[in-house]
Amino acid sequence: MEHCTHTPFNLTKNQSLVMSALSRASGPLSAYTILDQLRSEGLRAPLQVYRALDKLVEYGMVHRLESMNAFVPCRHPDGESESMVAFTICESCGEVTEISNNGFDRQLHKLAGGAGFNVKKSTVELFGECSSCA
Ligand SMILES: [Zn+2]
Ligand SMILES: [Zn+2]
């Protein structure tokens, strides 16, 4: 079974709108904030936003921050497939930065594999202070 992860996605109109709202934002956005921003574009129902977000997360273009119940666009320019993603979240100013890399990916797989567990994906959220606040 082989999945091609490099096909360019044909985004629907709603998905493109949600994607551009996230790209414009300086920080993570909740689904309701996105909905508010896109009302003038014709989005009315939370479900429209949730459906678009679900797909964008599935495509790896957007990450979901569980702790904040918010979404951020993936900042990996090369679009490498990432099963493990880590974020630093500053508790003072709220800055969120994506810090995943392949070594981190491998370590987590190894750690879980040692426990006989097959990890498919994970988002790690690290809380603390960013360099400007520390
Ligand atoms: Zn990413
Ligand atoms: Zn900070």
Q: What would the pLDDT profile of 20-34 be if each residue is shown by its tens digit?
A: 999 999 899 999 999
Helices (H), ranges, 6-86 = 13-24, 31-38, 46-58
Distance 85 CA to ligand 1 centre (A): 6
Q: Are 92 and 130 in contact (CB under 8 A)?
A: yes
- Residue 30's pLDDT is 97
Q: Which ligand is nearest to the CA of 130?
A: 2
Arithmetic mean of pLDDT over the chain: 87
Distance 82 CA to ligand 1 centre (A): 7
Task: State mean pLDDT over 45-68.
Answer: 93
Closest CA to 100 of 114, 113, 91, 88: 88
Ligand number nearest CA of 74 is: 1
Q: Do 29 and 21 meet the contact criterion of CB atoms below 8 Å apart?
A: yes
| b/e burial code for range 54-74 (CB count within 10 A of at least 16 → b) | ebbbeebbbbbbeebebbbbb
Between 99 and 80, name the one with better pLDDT.
99
Domains and CATH numbers, the chain: 12-74 (1.10.10.10), 75-134 (3.30.1490.190)
Q: What is the pLDDT of residues 93-114, one digit of tens each?
A: 999 999 877 787 888 889 999 9
DSSP-derived pairing of the beta strands 70-73 and 84-90:
unpaired
Partners of 64 in beta bridges = 71
Q: In the sheet where 122-128 sits, what is the strand order? A: 96-98, 84-90, 122-128
Residue 31: closest CA among 87, 72, 75, 71: 71
